[in-house]
Amino acid sequence: MATYFSGGTEGDWLVRDTHQIIGQTLPHVTHLKILNGTDGVSDSFWTISGVSSHARYTHRAEKIELNALQASLGRSEATCGALIPIKKSEEWWSFTQDERRNIFENKSKHIANSLKYLPAIARKLYHSRDLGEPFDFITWFEFSPTHVSDFNNLLAELRASEEWKYVVREVDIRVVKAPKS
Amino acid sequence: MATYFSGGTEGDWLVRDTHQIIGQTLPHVTHLKILNGTDGVSDSFWTISGVSSHARYTHRAEKIELNALQASLGRSEATCGALIPIKKSEEWWSFTQDERRNIFENKSKHIANSLKYLPAIARKLYHSRDLGEPFDFITWFEFSPTHVSDFNNLLAELRASEEWKYVVREVDIRVVKAPKS
């Protein structure tokens, strides 16, 4: 059920940069492997995992817009990827659902801002907090080289938002698809 | 981080009844053990686990009421317990957050009805769905023998609610505290 993101010396994605955004970074590696199970993670330097679960904040009207616009993973032109694991503060998790939703969307416009970048940026969210993982979420993005600056703008908007005041650990790992051998 | 509920031949709680409410039941055992880790689960007939995580539907006003009224676990007079693991349908999980909250509280009054039974019934919720467990939630209740009928009334109200139309598996395991040897 869980998906494993393994940093090491082999994998379908070549790691270009490992940016420490806030908190402890992950060691820089040359390759990233994405696995649906624990087979093949043993030769890795680090492995983080999460599960694709139900959305925690999205309302129906937003989901209809997202579904209409979003692209799927695995597009041939989407040769750029980003793996962004995030941990939020204890204060964030002590908020009630209405308080978290208020910061997430009413104040930070997390969904509304992200919609502007669809379908160029494909995205999949994995939940890690209940698994006892070091990060609370792992977000995986795929986009074409022509949309790198759009992707950077999306991240800049999110990181400037009130929601991001509660992010205590974030690593931004940029990858490109390895040429087929 | 996860808590393990282990049914077997030893443990601090004696199992009185194992009621199949809906879907596949769990095998009846004589003892229930509650463990904060996997040590000691090997001699069990079944083990289910979950994590105590943040509340998914509670709003601040409700949390203030809950915090003011609720009792903690481990009260000496609370010699009766109930372990109730639950799984909800795929339809439930395909709902958006606003739809789930609407069924959970606006229509089913899950929190408002539960408040009536505080502080007599102490309760702790464990989340299991992201762990790939057979149940989505495990709820553990503690109460004194004088409050058994109150507890049954609470369950009857919940089970008659619209929210429970989405429950596809539920087992109701009643236990009493084992005498100290």
Question: In this predicted model, what pLDDT tens digit does every residue of B146-157 receive, in sequence order?
Answer: 999 999 999 999
Provide CB contacts within 8 A for A45, sequence distance 6+.
A7, A8, A27, A29
Q: For B60-86, what is the mean pLDDT?
A: 97
Sign of CA dihedral B27, B29, B33, B34: positive
A13 pLDDT more than 90: yes
Predicted pLDDT at A42: 75
Residue A127: pLDDT over 80: yes
| Beta bridge partner(s), residue B17 | B174
Tell me the per-residue pLDDT of B95-143, one tens digit each, with 9 for 90 and over.
Answer: 999 999 999 999 999 999 999 999 999 999 999 999 999 999 999 999 9
Cis before B119? omega within 30: yes
* Rounded CA separation A117/A136 (Å): 24
- Which chain B residues are Cβ-neighbours of A51 within 8 angstroms? 130, 132
Share of chain B above pLDDT 90, in %: 93
User: CB of B53 within 8 Å of any CB in chain A?
Assistant: yes
3-class DSSP state of A111: helix
Average pLDDT value for residue range A35-55? 89
Radius of gyration of chain B (CA): 16
Whether A97 and B53 lie within 8 Å, measured CB to CB: no
Sheet holding B13-22, edge to edge: B46-50, B3-8, B31-35, B13-22, B167-177, B80-88, B137-143, B122-127
Of B51, B97, B98, the CB nearest to A130: B51
Give the best residue of A98, A126, A133 to mutate against chain B (max B CB count within 10 A): A98
Residues of chain A in contact with residue B132, where contact means CB-CB under 8 angstroms, are 1-2, 51
Q: State the count of interchain CB pairs (< 8 A) between A and B.
A: 54
- Report d(CA B126, CA B7) in Å as an integer: 17
Whether A53 sits inside 8 A of B1 (CB atoms) is no
Cβ contact B1–A51 (<8 Å): no
Percent of chain B with pLDDT over 70: 99
- Predicted confidence (pLDDT) at residue A20 exceeds the cutoff of 80: yes
* Backbone φ/ψ region at B22: left (φ over 0), alpha (ψ -120 to 50), beta: beta
Chain B neighbours among A 90-129 (CB < 8 Å)? Answer: 93-94, 96-99, 101, 127, 129
